[in-house]
Amino acid sequence: MSTEALPLLIAGAGIGGLAFAIRCRQHGIAVRLLEGRDAPTTDGAGIQLGPNATRILQDLSVAEALAPHVCTPDAIIVGLGATGRVLQRLPLSDWIRERHDAPYWVMHRADLHSALLDTLRTDHNTHPEFGWRVATAEPRASGVSATSEDGDIAAGCGLIAADGLWSHLRKRIVRADHPIPYSGKAAARTVIARDAAPEQMAGNHVGVWFSPHGHLVHYPVQAGRAVAVVAVTPREASTRGWGEEQSAAAMARDLGRIAPALDTAFARTAHWRMWSLFDPEPFPRVHDARICLLGDAAHPVLPFLAQGGGLAIEDAVVLADQIAQRGTALKDLEAAFAAYASARAARWARVQATSRRNGQIYQLGGPMALARDLTLQAIGGRKVMAGYDWLYGWRNAGLTPARP
């Protein structure tokens, strides 16, 4: 069988896998989307997407379905958790939309997943296969063969591993002993009703509260009906996985230390889940001849720039466009993987380095914290945001797919 008659296999229907599947279908490339979970994710947390990512959601025709569920915050308000003093107001809303031709959106993750899934199903008649956890992938003369944990087999011309931070398939590409070091920090997340949020957290803005004991981020989701809250604190021990439960009492104590100036009584009753944060150096390779990594599988990033999902969406269009340009015959696919890896490497590294630096800056104490606060006030909000033009102004230089 010629490889071009076989679909492209995608392992993982997270943000990256879904966006990649949509872009492939826009190009007319056949895919099989294999997802290990039994049902779509309903993870109860928020996500911020800058213009670099929302511009792509427009191109993927996802933005229209998503728009009723998002918020377009006015600004990022940065302050000190200890006193409640606002240090700076970084403009979003019209300012960033006009600058980068696309909005800055905040939303519930379940709403983003639903919009991606609905677009794939409705516009492209393509349905993820849930409960299909890829256990192994082996090269074949015709491409690649994936086997599920239940023993099912899927044949494809190639395989895109979009299977997240703890990618099982990465072991085929990157040496198993490549370290994924723990950062020493963990993020606890919750979503609360807007009525339950303290006044400083209930507005139409992203709030970032600095403290040497950790930092607190919040923003409205579900069209303003709820507020997503993330508290990042130093932790000695790490855990892997989908977010362990965290006791409300422990979180109330943490928030009381990070932001004593805010009324954080909600923490006592909220349902918190905790993610340990990992900080690997770039992987030496992200593909071989038949398998290519995408999203967190290729480049886990710390969340202090709110860009892991955005990068996965960018990856999706760059890789799909390269494949569309070259074709899915074996040598063409490998050339597409190589072009994608070289187009993306510098951006992945820059986002990770900036994110790492932000995480340090947010939690400074003593004279260094004072220097940070003075600098932030002296520079001014617009100038701070203009310094991120490289991030939010990113554009996909690839193909424009024919509209179905």
Ligand X SMILES: Cc1cc2nc3c(=O)[nH]c(=O)nc-3n(C[C@H](O)[C@H](O)[C@H](O)COP(=O)(O)OP(=O)(O)OC[C@H]3O[C@@H](n4cnc5c(N)ncnc54)[C@H](O)[C@@H]3O)c2cc1C
186 three-class SS = strand
DSSP labels, 137-149 = EEEETTEEEEEET
DSSP labels, 276-290 = EEE-PPPPS-SB-SS
296 touches ligand X by CB under 6 A? yes
Residue 363: CB minimum distance to ligand X, A: 15
Site for ligand X in 119-158 (CB under 6 A): 133-134
13 touches ligand X by CB under 6 A? yes
Burial (0-12, 13-18, 19+ Cβ within 10 Å), 403: exposed
Q: Which listed range, 136-144, 175-183, 306-314, 348-356, lies at the site for ligand X (CB under 6 A)?
A: 306-314
163 touches ligand X by CB under 6 A? yes
310 touches ligand X by CB under 6 A? yes
> Residue 151 CA to chain centroid, in angstroms?
31
207 touches ligand X by CB under 6 A? no
Residue 374: CB minimum distance to ligand X, A: 28
Rounded to whole angstroms, the Cα distance separating 43 from 182 reads 22
357 three-class SS = helix
Q: Which of 7, 8, 14, 340 binds ligand X (CB under 6 A)?
A: 14
78 three-class SS = strand
317 three-class SS = helix
309 touches ligand X by CB under 6 A? yes
**What are the structure tokens assigned to 51, written together?**
């213009």
295 touches ligand X by CB under 6 A? yes
CA dihedral angle for residue 54, residue 314, residue 319, residue 65, rounded to 10 degrees: -20
CA distances for 288 relative to 137, 282, 338, 391, angstroms: 12, 16, 9, 28
CA distances for 111 relative to 63, 68, 81, 116, 203, angstroms: 11, 10, 30, 9, 20
Q: Which of 96, 157, 173, 187 binds ligand X (CB under 6 A)?
A: 187
Using CB under 6 A as the binding criterion, the count of chain residues that bind ligand X stands at 35
Q: 242 or 370: whose CB is closer to ligand X?
A: 242
Q: Which listed range, 14-22, 80-88, 250-258, 388-396, lies at the site for ligand X (CB under 6 A)?
A: 14-22
Site for ligand X in 230-249 (CB under 6 A): 230
Q: Which of 6, 7, 9, 16 binds ligand X (CB under 6 A)?
A: 16
Q: Which of 9, 11, 22, 369 binds ligand X (CB under 6 A)?
A: 11
**What are the structure tokens assigned to 107, written together?**
């939303």
Q: 6 or 208: whose CB is closer to ligand X?
A: 208
Q: 49 or 60: whose CB is closer to ligand X?
A: 49
Site for ligand X in 49-68 (CB under 6 A): 49
17 touches ligand X by CB under 6 A? yes
Q: Which of 128, 156, 164, 398 binds ligand X (CB under 6 A)?
A: 164
Rounded to whole angstroms, the Cα distance separating 168 from 383 reads 42
Q: 188 or 373: whose CB is closer to ligand X?
A: 188
Residue 217: CB minimum distance to ligand X, A: 8
Residue 214: CB minimum distance to ligand X, A: 13
Neighbour tally for 331: CB within 10 Å = 11
Q: 311 or 332: whose CB is closer to ligand X?
A: 311
Q: Which of 37, 89, 140, 372 binds ligand X (CB under 6 A)?
A: 37
For the stretch 103-140, what's the b/e string if a residue is b when 16 or more beta carbons lie within 10 angstroms of its beta carbon?
Answer: bbbbbbbbbbbbbbbebbeebbebebeeebbbeebebe
Q: Which of 154, 162, 231, 270 binds ligand X (CB under 6 A)?
A: 162
179 three-class SS = coil
Rounded to whole angstroms, the Cα distance separating 326 from 15 reads 24
Contact positions vs ligand X (CB under 6 A):
11-17, 34-37, 41, 47-49, 133-134, 162-164, 168, 187, 189, 230, 275, 295-297, 303, 306-310, 312
